[in-house]
């Protein structure tokens, strides 16, 4: 029977030829991820699974990553205690891919960059934006810490096979429109709950022309419309990236694509020629509009450029191109967060960091910090921030009476200079 790419991947991981949407399966996991926020609870549940009479054992220490990226460097005593507890677990079980200190990067950029995830895999993470890796043509989704503890113990995950919405992107991209704008416009179209527990399969001529980093941005935000996962069929762009990060050519798997005649619960066409640089207004990602259509100037106190959504080197280059020779508005704090140490180093070599410093930006270490209101960019009451992050919920970046707006890095950089949200 004809299947979508998501069905095929899940079927192979539970040793079946076919799985039906809505079917419950037990699937083998290729890689498991957690961070400093989600690991402690998972660790406690992991020990409970084994009880006092059995010796705890991780299913495969080489297929687990623990990344201390949310509250590091330790912002207070509680985060220090939490990270100490997690570090001790990682050392005890000799977790190969444990990232702390100077090797910490934002988890969803760090794993692809280190070649730890590949097409056809099933990746499970105790973080909702684990769906990022679907850009490489794999099934990746977020789960709760208790579910992750079971994955650590057994190497398997219990899933309901999701239905799939096929989204076809057509037309020509307008100036300064990137993956961030496409996914914001998509979320506006289908709503923040429009794809609840469904796959969104991103297809079409526009997707094929996007960089791998714009693709990561789009699948990263699949969860923002309620999707179980986002996925893009691997192509030459995918294989070139994998060769770069893994050091060898990925062997093309002919089965890694949806069959003709595969069953979709919905098919949506999006005309990209009608999409211009977007801004998502508070307090949901679906509140997206063309920046040029804003009825009045929205003055801002802070700009954040970085995160698992837009902290890639490509994003920093785009922002630096705008900021070169200009100064950040004196009423704005512009915070730069390279997603990984490697990206930070390359940004240094290319002179991007110098450009940011000359413009009056604040350079921060790779961290999720302000995205979830953790640290290094907390908003006070009444303050407004424009961010290249993925969520703008009430209180997301600090005080419940602050506001967060979402955009691509070019809009963020122009806005930092203007002092209000602007696309040029």
- pLDDT tens-digit readout, 166-214: 999 999 999 999 999 999 999 999 999 999 999 999 999 999 999 999 9
Quote the CA–CA distance of 387 and 406 in Å, as a whole number. Answer: 5
Statement: residue 373 has pLDDT above 70: yes
Statement: residue 233 has pLDDT above 70: yes
Name the DSSP letter for residue 272: G
Statement: residue 247 has pLDDT above 90: no
**Selecting from 3.30.1370.60, 3.30.200.20, 3.30.565.10, 3.30.499.10, what CATH number does the domain 5-249+262-270 have?**
3.30.499.10
Average pLDDT over residues 56-75: 95
What's the burial of 69, exposed, middle or buried (CB within 10 Å: 0-12/13-18/19+)? buried
Residue identified by tokens 């990067």 is: 105
Let me know the angle formed at the C-alpha of 129 by 157 and 306, rounded to the nearest 5 degrees. Answer: 155
Quote the CA–CA distance of 102 and 341 in Å, as a whole number. Answer: 7
**Three-state secondary structure call for residue 410:** helix
Statement: residue 52 has pLDDT above 70: no
**Residue 362: predicted pLDDT:** 98
**Residue 249: predicted pLDDT:** 79
Average pLDDT over residues 342-367: 98
Alpha helices in 4-76 (DSSP H): 5-13, 39-50
**Three-state secondary structure call for residue 10:** helix
**Residue 279: predicted pLDDT:** 98
Q: What is the mean pLDDT of the chain?
A: 96
Instruction: Flag the least confident range among 80-84, 188-192, 247-251, 365-369.
Output: 247-251
Instruction: List the domain boundaries for the chain.
Output: 5-249+262-270, 279-418
Statement: residue 80 has pLDDT above 80: yes
**Three-state secondary structure call for residue 69:** coil
Quote the CA–CA distance of 152 and 371 in Å, as a whole number. Answer: 27
Specify which residues 164 forms β-bridges with: 199
Average pLDDT over residues 383-406: 97
Structure tokens belonging to residue 100: 């702390």
CATH 3.30.499.10, domain 279-418, yes or no: yes
Compute the radius of gyration of the chain from its Cα atoms.
21
Task: Give the pLDDT band (50/70/90) at residue 248.
Answer: confident
Quote the CA–CA distance of 63 and 296 in Å, as a whole number. Answer: 50
CA quadruple 45, 46, 52, 55: dihedral, nearest 10: 180
Average pLDDT over residues 404-418: 98
Quote the CA–CA distance of 188 and 288 in Å, as a whole number. Answer: 6
Q: How many helices (H) does the chain have, and how many strands (E)? A: 14, 18
Is there a common fold for 5-249+262-270 and 279-418? yes
Statement: residue 114 has pLDDT above 70: yes
**Residue 253: predicted pLDDT:** 84
Phi, psi at 335, each rounded to 5°: -105, 130
Quote the CA–CA distance of 174 and 170 in Å, as a whole number. Answer: 12
**Residue 324: predicted pLDDT:** 98
Q: Going edge to edge, which strands form the sheet with 198-203?
A: 229-231, 198-203, 163-170, 266-271
Average pLDDT over residues 64-89: 95
Average pLDDT over residues 132-145: 98
Statement: residue 116 has pLDDT above 80: yes
Task: Give the pLDDT band (50/70/90) at residue 53.
Answer: low
Average pLDDT over residues 374-388: 97
Average pLDDT over residues 97-116: 96
**Residue 85: predicted pLDDT:** 97
**pLDDT digit string, tens, across residues 266-312:** 999 999 999 999 999 999 999 999 999 999 999 999 999 999 999 99
**Residue 136: predicted pLDDT:** 97
């Amino acid at each position: 029977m004809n299947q979508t790419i998501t069905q095929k991947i899940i079927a192979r991981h539970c040793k079946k030829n076919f799985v039906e949407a809505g079917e419950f399966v037990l699937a083998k996991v290729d890689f498991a991820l957690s961070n400093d926020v989600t690991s402690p609870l998972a660790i406690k549940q992991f020990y409970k699974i084994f009880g006092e009479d059995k010796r705890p054992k991780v299913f495969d220490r080489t297929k687990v990553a623990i990344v201390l990226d949310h509250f590091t460097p330790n912002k207070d005593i509680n985060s220090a205690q939490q990270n100490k507890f997690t570090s001790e677990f990682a050392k005890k079980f000799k977790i190969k891919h444990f990232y702390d200190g100077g090797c910490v990067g934002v988890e969803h950029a760090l794993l692809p960059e280190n070649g730890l995830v590949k097409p056809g895999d099933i990746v499970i993470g105790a973080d909702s934006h684990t769906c990022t890796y679907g850009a490489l043509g794999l099934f990746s989704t977020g789960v709760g810490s208790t579910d992750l503890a079971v994955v650590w113990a057994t190497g398997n995950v219990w899933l309901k096979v999701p239905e799939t919405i096929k989204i076809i992107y057509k037309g020509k991209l307008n100036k300064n429109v990137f993956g961030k704008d496409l996914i914001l416009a998509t979320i506006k179209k289908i709503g923040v709950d429009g794809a609840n527990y469904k796959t969104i399969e991103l297809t079409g001529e526009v997707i094929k022309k996007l960089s791998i980093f714009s693709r990561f941005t789009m699948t990263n935000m699949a969860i923002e419309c309620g999707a179980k996962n986002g996925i893009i069929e691997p192509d030459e762009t995918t294989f070139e990236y994998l060769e770069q990060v893994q050091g060898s050519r990925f062997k093309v798997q002919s089965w890694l694509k949806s069959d003709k005649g595969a069953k979709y619960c919905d098919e949506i066409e999006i005309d990209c020629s009608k999409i211009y640089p977007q801004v998502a207004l508070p307090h949901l990602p679906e509140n997206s509009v063309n920046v040029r259509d804003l009825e009045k100037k929205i003055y801002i106190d802070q700009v954040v450029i970085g995160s698992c959504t837009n902290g890639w080197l490509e994003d920093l280059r785009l922002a630096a191109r705008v900021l070169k020779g200009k100064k950040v508005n004196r009423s704005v704090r512009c915070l730069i967060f390279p997603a990984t140490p490697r990206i930070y180093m390359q940004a240094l070599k290319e002179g991007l960091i110098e450009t940011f410093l000359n413009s009056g930006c604040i350079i921060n270490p790779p961290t999720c910090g302000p995205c979830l209101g953790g640290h290094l960019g907390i908003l006070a009451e009444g303050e407004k921030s424009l961010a290249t992050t993925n969520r703008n919920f009430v209180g997301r970046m600090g005080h419940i009476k602050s506001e967060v707006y979402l955009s691509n890095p070019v809009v963020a950089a122009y806005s930092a200079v203007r002092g209000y949200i602007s696309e040029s």
